[in-house]
């Protein structure tokens, strides 16, 4: 099996996240790369619900709240031999993820930009309380991808929303999107078997 090349993606603050280069794409004289983090991306959500717990939902955690709960989240994941890092663009857990069962899967209904509802599935890694608020630490089951443009030095740079929108209109990108959708379907089929 060929080894997948890796590259460090930097954000505007200079923080880096190591990524596998999944695909390369040339369009309009520019080089683009599709990147997947080397380690597991992690999201932390807060459980919010009414007293009868029938209408529970998960809410995103903002940066200030994340600063408060980060030490507890790190300690909880350390119990599973996972190390939580705050990197460019995402939280990352290094270490071997535990095997998951159907009970570990959380499905979220997320509304997209055009009002469509997307189902996203996460593996629950841990849960914990901080000041009487329950939090859950999850990793997405679908691949977590970034699209970047290679600059003149060969370093990846994240696209602005306008650049991404322009790229999405190109035929080369539409072909890549179809390929990614097929890969995601294959990935889902493998997860179910």
**What are the boundaries of each domain within the chain?**
6-38+143-192, 40-140
Q: Residue 2 is encoded by which pair of tokens?
A: 């060929």
DSSP assigned state of 50: -
Answer yes or no: is pLDDT of 71 > 50: yes
> What is the per-residue pLDDT for 52?
55
Asked if 94 contacts 83 with a C-beta cutoff of 8 angstroms, the reply is yes
> What is the per-residue pLDDT for 159?
83
Query: Which of 101-118 are b and which e, b meaning 16 or more Cβ less than 10 Å from the residue's Cβ?
Result: eeeeeeeeeeeeeeeeee
Q: Residue 77 is encoded by which pair of tokens?
A: 């994941």
Chain segment 6-57, per-residue pLDDT in tens:
899 887 777 888 999 988 888 888 888 889 999 999 999 998 875 555 667 8
Burial class (CB in 10 A: 0-12, 13-18, 19+), 120: middle
């Amino acid at each position: 099996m060929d080894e997948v090349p890796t590259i460090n993606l930097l954000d505007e603050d200079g923080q880096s996240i190591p990524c596998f280069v999944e695909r390369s794409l040339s369009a309009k004289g520019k080089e683009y790369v599709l990147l997947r983090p080397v380690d597991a991306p992690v999201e932390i959500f807060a459980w919010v619900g009414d007293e009868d717990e029938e209408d529970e939902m998960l809410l995103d955690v903002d940066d200030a709240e994340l600063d408060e709960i980060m030490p507890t989240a790190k300690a909880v994941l350390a119990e599973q031999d996972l190390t939580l890092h705050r990197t460019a663009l995402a939280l990352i857990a290094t270490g071997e993820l535990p095997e998951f069962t159907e009970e570990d899967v959380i499905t979220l209904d997320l509304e997209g930009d055009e009002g469509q509802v997307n189902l996203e599935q996460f593996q629950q890694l841990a849960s914990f309380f901080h000041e009487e608020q329950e939090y859950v630490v999850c990793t997405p089951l679908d691949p977590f991808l970034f699209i970047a443009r290679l600059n003149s030095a060969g370093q990846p740079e994240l696209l602005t929303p306008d650049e991404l929108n322009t790229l999405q209109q190109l035929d080369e990108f539409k072909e890549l999107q179809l390929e990614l959708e097929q890969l995601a379907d294959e990935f889902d089929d493998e997860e179910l078997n």
